[in-house]
Amino acid sequence: MPAPRLLLALAAVASLPVSTLSQEQDMGRRSTVYAPRAAAATSQPLATAAALEIMQQGGNAIDGAVAAAAVLNVVEPHMTGMGGDAFSIVWWAETGDLFGIDASGRSGSGMTVEALRARGHERMPGSGPEAVTVPGAVSGWSALVERFGKLTLAEVLAPAIRIARDGFPVTPVIARQWGGAAERLAGDEGARATYLVDGERAPRAGEWMVNPDLARTFQRIADEGPDVLYGGSLGRELVDGLAALGGFLTLEDLAAHRIRWVEPLSTDFRGYTVWELPPAGQGIAALEMLEILEPFDLAGMGHNSADYLHHLIEAKKLAFADLNRYVSDPETMEIDPNALLSPGYVDARRALIDPDVAADRVGPGRAVTDSETIYLSVADADGNMVSFINSVYSSFGSGVVIPGLGFALQNRGAGFTLEDGHPNQVAPRKRPFHTIIPGFVTQDGEPVMAFGVMGGSMQPQGHTQLLLNMLIFGMDPQEAVDAARFRHLSGLRVAIERVSDEVAADLEARGHEIADWRRTDFGGAQVILRLAKGWAAASEPRKDGHAAGN
């Protein structure tokens, strides 16, 4: 099979002699990881090690991805876990097909507009028990392993059970972020007991942490299967504890939960096909951004030049205006998602970009900007590839931990609106608008790359920038992940990493308001690229990311 054009471009980059970089320039720089058989890229070293461990024990990439996700519940609990939702795109080498899974949960049967307004809410609660929706992650983990895995769910959960029971040293970035949530955790009995040292403070970098409650919960799932949560004794403990706090979930809501196997959406861009999952996620915004940008001479503008950044920022505004207006639970969407990618529609949107003036407000709606999420990629010796994302939404989700269970419940209910007539208005047993999106790239029907960028509204922006770094500017995976990013915040406000005074002044002359990038989260990326033989993997330096292979 001929190497994809992207791989040929990267081969040229990779073949540059080491002497082109001075020792000083190379110090502290991560290199792309090259592996002959299997690779994993996650946001935490223990999760990457767990994925490789499981594959060495006879599992495949799907088993490894689920093992890594479970370990991240232990070591990066503010970002992810079984109290959240999961989404994945799987390249199944045996048949040469892409499969999508949406393991997101619905609202509780008591979550109504009337109930929330009766409690004095004028907008959706952002945290607490009222924001909790059905946690779908475990159902997704189980479905993936059952359909594609080589091992049992119990075998795949073993590393997470061991680490939760025996403990681990907290890594630096996670310790800092954990500390930022300490006051919030102190307000909930279960969260305080589970996540604060002596019930008083967050762990420090290098400090040993254990979570015996989570180890026991995982063991119950390993022994009894996911039904113990979705209608069984574990589910009963969860809903009883939540009801005492004012939540809306019932045991019947958990029992009625089902995952969705979905067909990914795609768009062609510069000889590649980019894949995202369909709504209720925001992946369609990344595809629309690429469609809008397709005709522009992006390479001629220059990477992260003022022209380049201006066009990307304006494309983001247009795509997000559509996202906020139209995307909701697919059962309540008013349009076919593909309508947002139709040539005539995209042409009309592109025509709204003024190359010299930044648009202040574009269309209706309000972008969701905060999210705590993990993204990981895993590939195996058989050629299977997994693009996987799991989230509890905000830091530690709702901030609610049912005592004795050991995990935080997500606050995905915050993704609804109380606005009358909006397709994303809250209603019983409805999926909220979702931010988390895995990505995938193929070329001529062959797999090229599993990729993702975590971080709320940063995700479509990050997907687009990462892809352009590689597809337009020929960066290798780690260079593409390391490159400075922008994040459009709202209105005219945008944050740009390491932006020069000259570029900032040019953008300000066009009307952009440059925010302090040091106070902005630019997300976390992981990438696995298929080589003619073997894999190339990259991890996020803005997190405690780690890519490795064997």
Looking at residues 234-238, what average pLDDT do you find?
98
What DSSP state is assigned to residue 201?
B
Question: Is-catalytic flag, 373?
Answer: yes
Element (H, E) at 389: strand 385-393
Judge whether residue 306 has pLDDT over 50: yes
Give, in order, the Cα–Cα distances in Å from 352 to each of 320, 509, 543. Answer: 14, 19, 36
Q: For residue 378, list its beta bridge partners.
A: 40, 386
Domains of the chain, each with CATH number or no CATH = 5-10+262-369+436-543 (1.10.246.130), 40-260+374-415 (no CATH)
Contacts of 369 (CB under 8 A, 6+ apart): 456, 457, 489, 490
Confidence of residue 149 (pLDDT cuts 50, 70, 90): very high
Position 272 scores a pLDDT of 97
Higher pLDDT, 422 or 493: 493
pLDDT digits (tens, 9 = 90+) for 77-103: 999 999 999 999 999 999 999 999 999
Higher pLDDT, 333 or 473: 473
Looking at residues 5-12, what average pLDDT do you find?
46
State the catalytic residue, choosing from 373, 417, 435, 520.
373
Looking at residues 448-461, what average pLDDT do you find?
92
Judge whether residue 497 has pLDDT over 60: yes
Alpha-carbon distance of 46 to 68, in angstroms, equals: 8
pLDDT digits (tens, 9 = 90+) for 211-226: 999 999 999 999 999 9
Judge whether residue 1 has pLDDT over 80: no
Q: What does the DSSP assignment read for 108-163? A: PTT--HHHHHHTT-SS--SSSGGG-----HHHHHHHHHHHH-SS-HHHHHHHHHHH
Alpha-carbon distance of 293 to 464, in angstroms, equals: 10
Alpha-carbon distance of 435 to 172, in angstroms, equals: 26
pLDDT digits (tens, 9 = 90+) for 516-544: 999 999 999 999 999 999 999 999 999 99
Position 156 scores a pLDDT of 98
Q: What is the pTM of this model?
A: 0.92
Judge whether residue 27 has pLDDT over 70: no
Position 326 scores a pLDDT of 82
Q: For residue 296, list its beta bridge partners.
A: none
Judge whether residue 240 has pLDDT over 50: yes
Judge whether residue 367 has pLDDT over 70: no
Q: What does the DSSP assignment read for 449-518? A: EEEEEESTTHHHHHHHHHHHHHHTT---HHHHHHS--EEEEETTEEEETT--HHHHHHHHHTT-EEE-GG
Beta-sheet strand order (sheet of 372-379)? 260-262, 97-103, 85-92, 385-393, 372-379, 39-42, 546-549
SS3 244: helix
Judge whether residue 13 has pLDDT over 60: no
Looking at residues 435-459, what average pLDDT do you find?
93
Position 455 scores a pLDDT of 83
